[in-house]
Amino acid sequence: MIERTLVLVKPDGVHRQLVGEIISRFERAGLKLVGIKMFWADKEHAMKHYTEDITIRRGENVRNKLLRFLVIGPVVAICLEGIEAIEIVRKIVGDTQPKTALPGTIRGDYSHMSYAYADAKDKAIPNLIHASTTKEEAEYEIALWFKSEELHSYKLPHEDHVL
C-alpha cells in the first residue's frame, strides 16, 4: 500500500515562487520526500512526459499546448512516498481545472482559470502541478524524471505516527 508518485511543479509554479509552499503542503500531510530536483526539460523530454495518452484523452491540440508550456522554464520534479500516495497527492492537488478545484487544494488556492479561458488564449491551463494518476503512470514518470540513485529510502523519526 506504500506507493511512490511523481509531482512536477510546472513552470508557472516556479515562476510564481510557490515551490516552497507547494512542497510544504505535501510534507504536512506526512508524505515523504524521496527525490527532488530542478530540471529544464527540452521538447524531447516533454514529449516523453506528455505522451500520446494525452492526445487520446484530451486531443492533439491540448498536447501541443502542453508541450510548449512545459519547456518555458525549469520545473521542480518531486518523488513522494506514502500510503496510497498517488490518490492522496491528487486529492491535495485538486481538480485539473482551477475554476472547479476546491479551496484547500493547491490548484483551488493558487489559481482560478477555466478551460474556456485557457482555450481562448490558446494555452495549456496553468494549474501549477503535474501529479501521476495511476500506478503505471507513476512508475513510468518516476523512471523518466529520476535515476534510481537520485531516489532515497530512509526512515522519518515520527514514522510510526504517519506511516
**CA-CA distance, 110 to 127, in Å (whole number)?**
8
Q: If binding is defined by CB under 6 A, does position 124 make contact with ligand GDP?
A: yes
**The 75-83 sheet, strands edge to edge:** 32-39, 75-83, 2-9, 129-131
Q: Is 130 a catalytic residue?
A: yes
Q: Which of 45, 49, 130, 158 is catalytic?
A: 130
Nearer to ligand GDP, 61 or 162 (CB): 61
C-alpha cell at 140: 513510468
Q: If binding is defined by CB under 6 A, does position 58 make contact with ligand GDP?
A: yes
Q: If binding is defined by CB under 6 A, does position 118 make contact with ligand GDP?
A: yes
Going through the chain in order, the beta strands assigned E by DSSP cover 2-9, 32-39, 75-83, 129-131
Residues contributing to the site for ligand GDP (CB under 6 A): 57-58, 62, 65-66, 96, 115, 118-119, 124-125, 127, 130, 133
User: Would you name the residues annotated as active-site residues?
Assistant: 130
